[in-house]
A and B are shown apart, each in its own frame.
Chain A
Amino acid sequence: MLRQLGAGFGSVALAGLLAEGANAAGVVGGSNPLAVQPPHFRPRAKRVIMLFMDGGPSHHDLFDYKPLLVRDAGQPLPQKLPRVLSNADRFGNLMAPISKFRQCGESGLWMSDLTPHLAAVADDLCLIRSMHCSNPQHGAACLEWHTGSATFVRPSMGSWLTYGLGSENQNLPGYVTMCQPLASGGAGLYGSAFLPAAYQGTPLGQERSPAAEAKFRFIESRHARPRLQRMELDLLQAMGREHLATSGADSELEARINSFELAFRMQAEAPEAQDLSAESAATRALYGVDEKATANFAQQCLLARRFIERGVRFVQCNLGGWDHHYNIRTGLRNNARQMDKPIAGLLQDLKSRGLLDETLVIWGGEFGRTPVSEGTNGRDHNPYGYTMWLAGGGVRGGMTYGQTDEYGFHAVENKVHVHDLHATILNLLGLDHEKLTYPYAGRNFRLTDVEGRVVHEIMT
């Protein structure tokens, strides 16, 4: 985060660390790493809100309507099972969606009755129904979705984007994630790995902690009054300048002196960004901030808008509990309710403020679920075919892209792998996924490794 500000003469990148790879502007290290960088080409979106549904939401019950699954419910699956599965020994027969679907909006997208508010904004959604990834377990699949690699420690997508584009607000971190899940990859999900630490996500709160407690760490002064802290900082500055004078010019020492001033400013700006009391009653109602079922995720979504407004590049909201191996009927219904109104509210709010055009909203989990039941009343993990959706900046609303097979198990048409969606997201932000590289351990690394197809078909 925010390193080296106003660094005197010290903005010369060390040649040995620079090497050949670089972000869009060719800056590595040296001067402020979060300074705004020009993209590779004209971007369709400027920033990202990612709504991560931890656990693997069931596409069969939410976004991927399959009449055959209704018709053949209770029958055995007439397909060969994949080679690698999660709980194959608990597989049952085909299980009908737990809710009805109907066509919505001018586009006529098939939407589930579980999410009536989202159905009302169907014309803004671009459903990608042919997602697939490489691993049927949470940890690996979460890592794959966030970093592109299930196996190795790699920078997260948010880190890559912040590295590529910098941040528009120097008093806030460029990449923020709220109520981040701890298991299934943990900090690896928002880590910067070998990218400089300035690009790692700043976690606010953690899984299961109320969004109201998701605050910046150490942001609150312990002083009774700012004046007292100011006095200490003034002495600290005086001592620092004197030390610098006897040490000989050194940009690092200078940067450290400045970092305390920035910290002092952040103490003022960050709490303000997180203060929802300034929001109108109408806005709070739009998100469902004051309703019990939606309060928590609504606060995350509303905070996301406030961060985005202040120039934060990448904001992630997290909603867990989607791992419905058991009792999917009640469990999924609850989860759907928790997200439905807040997300629809977010999309409408962004739109009315003119922010949706330049903000890319991404919804999805690490994988989907099986069309067959697990045990008697659940669905198992399914990385072979599932739905994610995009909305906003540069994406065509009211469309579907790709298809799963007739039971929704495998993606079969216009398949989109996680690498492909990563390439597409970077493209929407004006970055070429093959050019956004960083040199590490003897070679240049990319978010998409050696893969990735940009799905131009979904763009405006």
Chain B
Amino acid sequence: MKWICRILPLAGLAAAASGLGQSLQTSRDDTSPAAASAAISPADIAFFESKIRPLLAENCFSCHGPDKQKAGLRLDSAAGILKGGESGPAAVPGRPDTSLLIDAINHGDIVQMPPTGKLPPQEIADLTTWVKMGLPWPQSEPRGQRRVDGAPATTYADEAVNHWAFQRPGKPALPVVSRPDWPQSPADHFILAQLDAVGLEPAPPANKRQLIRRVTFDLTGLPPPPDTIANFLQDQSPDAFARLVDRLVASPQYGERWGRHWLDVARYADSNGADENRIHANAWRYRDYVVAAFNDDLPYDQFIVEQLAGDLLPAADRQTRNRHWIATGFLAIGPKPLLANDAVKVELDVVDEQLDTTGRALLGLTLGCARCHDHKFDPITARDYYSLAGIFKSTLTIPKYDFQNHRTWNERALGSDEDELRHQELKEAYDQANELRRLNDEPMEQKKHSAQMKVVRKELAAIPVAMTVRDGKVQDMHVLVRGNHLTPGDVAPRGFPRVLVGDRQDPLDDGESGRLAFAQWLIQPEHPLTARVMVNRLWKWHFGEGIVRSVDNFGVLGERPDNQPLLDYLAVEFVDSGWLIKTMHRRVLLSSAYQMLSSTNPKSEIRNPKSADPENRLLSRMNRRRLEAEEVRDAVLVVSGQLDQAVGGAVFSPEHNAERVSERSGSGGVIARAYQTIRRSLYLPVIRSGLFDLFQAFDFGEPSVVTGRRETTTVAPQALLLMNGDLVWQAAKSLAERLRASECADDESRVCAAYELAFGRAPSRTEIGRVLDFIKSYEDELENDGLSPPERRKGAWEAWCRVLLASNEFIYIN
């Protein structure tokens, strides 16, 4: 299913590609000052010379005069005052209420002047009067022109404009390679060509056991069951691996694993975090939407449009409409400042969060850097920032900014129109009761209102809702000087970064926020970033490192691609395939590169500085990787036979929506209870500022920000958690019991069964012998504690199972 795209010009691409780089010539209009410049009356002159000039001379000129210009400001002429400094014009003629100078001498919010202490009240009054009069300054020098936003337009170097990532990718020809029999896919040509260039050889292929463990964890996040391994080993047909891949990407567990990758990028969480950490009881709908999108192989271009602008798409039925609404959870689930008092700033912080997330997630650009000034490194101006910000400013995320009550975010009822209406009414009733409670000092009255809130809360919980955004008041933003909303500059019409689009852009429709147009611009086949950023993510999730290692930053300070022809080839293929992610999986997984051994290639020894490629940037072998947090837990639960594989659903009852996390996280609280589940880790709540222990320990990452690349640390608390925590302790009991109750004839075959389950291989004779020795001596040791023989036996097997589940072989994938 496709939609009609309004094609916007990508003029800047052509310009940048041809090396013109003209697109950065910003065209800020220099406005001329509006101050009264007519003849000054003698009375005004007298007032100025007797009151104002001495005052300024005595208090201001030493720092803001001919010798020093602190903060770039001169106050020794009307022109200097109008031109202003780093914080913008110092005064607006006739408007003391919006003049920074007046705010400063009143020791207002932005600056406080003079720094040594406030002026006497009479002098403050005089200066205020003078600004009101229009800053009459006798024999003032000509005012000349100025920039409203105070800063000269940045001109970026050609290197920045011509940065590789801003150029449209072409489809490179397959290079000639030394071993024509090695490549199984186009990707292999590009990899082998680079290895050839430095005289490295690709590692031999992994064996079938290694391969099935690698690809099963990769595609489903779970270990392969022993019978699946056996079938794969028996299948001698040449397409055995291809069919294995097909089966895995068709399993519901595939979406749970790959959806989770995307949720890292979308900084998914079940609580708000930020200054006021409240439960997102309805965020799970977005999580399930993402999982379904992967399982259904929703084309990536459509995935983008739905997440940014689902609410603006036509929908044939309510189910589709709901799906579209839920998709916009992408914008709604970020950390939102819910308690700050400055309503305007709160709104702008939400906008910034959405813009920064969208920039990193979809474009690999750190757009947030341009909030306070032109981007220092990438050719993104503050004006570009505010052009995009206007789109999000025209979007409603937090409906009410009255700070006492706005501890809530936009939600939409998923049922009929009446449901939506009822939902609105109830929310208002709730806010009203809350406000009455706050304003009342009487405990009895407070109780009454609390009781009412509880009733409303129950009713609210009965209506299914999703966290969404919707269009608000459509408006262009002003460039905010130094990111401060108290110092607005020029208007920045809503639009897209000019380095990519060019100076001439058709204005966006005044009737809508522009999110749909933005999404459609992102998915144009010629877009230089969208496809590259996503195929690089896919590559990273398969290989452990991206072709561009800084997966969330394709800007000038990001890393260069290790193999740009490979990246570009894949990006073009991705678009040509109809943005189909499962198609890309097959192309990548069926390569020789993916199927290499991970054992150290002597010539590119891992982390050995003397080797030719210590970081394996050229891919002369597969990267070894540690299981991620969720995989550790899920694998432990699978091997011990405990995992409940139910798919999807809510984490919390909707009654807990928007409740404070701190009040719900104690032992016995809803959060602690939600952690008790034996379902897949995907269904554990993700609590910002209060991550699940195991997530915290195993590098889950910070769910408030885009995380395209999780860290892998190796620290002692991980060992403590595995040694002394419930997870392994409990799993070892289950696994030992599973082995005892199995059909295995003897202990030797029990050891073999456990190795198959945990490591996907059979143990050697030596290994079996060592295990049996261990069990024997552990039993002997337990005899000291006066345990009966069956208790000793049980204890010893459990001890061995703990070792198995804590071992490197279990937790690393070759």
Contact = CB atoms under 8 A, between A and B. Distances in A.
B377 A412 contact: no
Interface in A108-153: 135-140, 143, 150-151, 153
Contacts of B172: none
A383 to B, nearest CB: 10
A321 B805 CA distance: 44
A16 B802 contact: no
B25 interface: no
Given A228-B781, A259-B715, A247 B349 contact: no
B689 interface: yes
A82 to B, nearest CB: 7
A182 B808 contact: no
Nearest to A228: B781
Contact of A84 (B341, B552, B715, B721): B341
Nearest to B704: A153
A442 interface: yes
Contacts of A260: 716, 719, 723, 806
A197 to B, nearest CB: 5
Interface stretch (B77-85, B249-257, B555-563): B555-563
Contacts of A89: 439
A185 interface: yes
A412 B690 contact: no
Contact of B799 (A140, A197, A228, A443): A228
Interface stretch (A37-45, A248-256, A274-282): A248-256
Contacts of B723: 218, 221, 229, 260, 263
Interface in B767-808: 770, 774, 777-778, 781-782, 785, 799-800, 802-803, 806-808
A251 B614 CA distance: 12
Given A139-B276, A182-B665, A197-B715, A187 B605 contact: no
A150 B275 contact: yes
B439 A90 contact: yes
B801 to A, nearest CB: 10
Contact of B724 (A2, A218, A246): A218
B765 interface: no
B715 A139 contact: no
Contact of A135 (B340, B378, B605): B340
Contact of B806 (A90, A186, A236, A410): A236
Contacts of B296: none
Interface stretch (B455-463, B570-578, B706-714): B706-714
B714 A232 contact: no
A222 B724 contact: yes
A218 B717 contact: yes
Nearest to B377: A442
A174 to B, nearest CB: 12
A326 B721 CA distance: 43
Interface string B449-477: 00000000000000000000000000000
Interface in B91-135: 106-109, 112, 117-118
B275 A443 contact: no
B273 A186 contact: yes
A244 B782 CA distance: 31
Interface string B649-674: 00000000000111001000000000
Contacts of B661: 182-183, 186
Interface stretch (A69-77, A188-196, A357-365): A188-196
Given A196-B711, A197-B715, A222 B337 contact: no
Interface residues of A, number: 92
A183 B349 contact: no
A248 B118 contact: no
Contacts of B614: 12
B622 to A, nearest CB: 12
Contact of A217 (B360, B376, B662, B693): B693
A239 B549 CA distance: 33
Interface stretch (A3-11, A160-168, A303-311): A3-11
Interface string B330-341: 000001010111
Interface in A13-29: 14-16
Given A185-B689, A207-B662, A139 B615 contact: no
A262 B720 CA distance: 9
A233 to B, nearest CB: 8
Nearest to A230: B781
A398 interface: no
Contacts of A259: 714-716, 718-719
B412 interface: no
A228 B660 contact: no
A187 B703 CA distance: 12
B447 to A, nearest CB: 15
A227 to B, nearest CB: 7
A183 B277 contact: yes
B615 A186 contact: no
Interface in B261-315: 273-277
B609 interface: yes
B700 to A, nearest CB: 10
Interface in B597-631: 598-600, 605-609, 614-615, 624, 626
Contacts of A186: 273, 277, 661-662, 688-690
A85 interface: yes
A291 interface: no
A253 B275 contact: no
Contacts of B377: 442-443
A140 B339 contact: yes
A22 B10 CA distance: 40
Interface string B425-446: 0000000000000010100000
A139 B705 CA distance: 18
Nearest to A193: B702
B812 interface: yes
B153 interface: no
A239 B720 CA distance: 18
Given A137-B340, A207-B662, A250 B624 contact: yes
A220 B615 CA distance: 38
B809 interface: yes
Given A188-B689, A231-B799, A217 B717 contact: yes
B812 to A, nearest CB: 7
A186 B271 CA distance: 12
B216 to A, nearest CB: 19
B814 interface: yes
B716 A266 contact: yes
A221 B724 contact: yes
B720 A376 contact: no
Contact of A9 (B342, B608, B724): B608
B337 A140 contact: yes
A221 B728 CA distance: 13
Contact of B275 (A90, A139, A262, A267): A139
Contact of B557 (A218, A244, A442): A442
Contact of A257 (B559, B782, B802, B808): B808
A169 interface: no
Given A249-B600, A412-B107, A412-B117, A239 B809 contact: yes
Contacts of B711: 196-197
Given A218-B717, A263-B716, A153 B607 contact: no
A139 B607 contact: no
9 contacts: A3-B713, A188-B689, A227-B781, A231-B777, A239-B808, A252-B712, A259-B715, A326-B441, A442-B558
Cβ-closest 5 pairs across A and B: A139-B275, A248-B600, A186-B689, A263-B719, A182-B662
Given A183-B662, A186-B277, A443-B376, 8 more contacts: A188-B273, A228-B781, A236-B807, A238-B770, A243-B808, A243-B812, A249-B606, A259-B718
Interface of A: 1-4, 9-10, 12, 14-16, 80, 82-86, 89-90, 135-140, 143, 150-151, 153, 181-188, 191, 193-194, 196-198, 202, 207, 216-222, 224-225, 227-229, 231-232, 235-236, 238-240, 243-244, 246-253, 255-257, 259-260, 262-263, 266-267, 326, 375-376, 410, 412-413, 415, 441-443
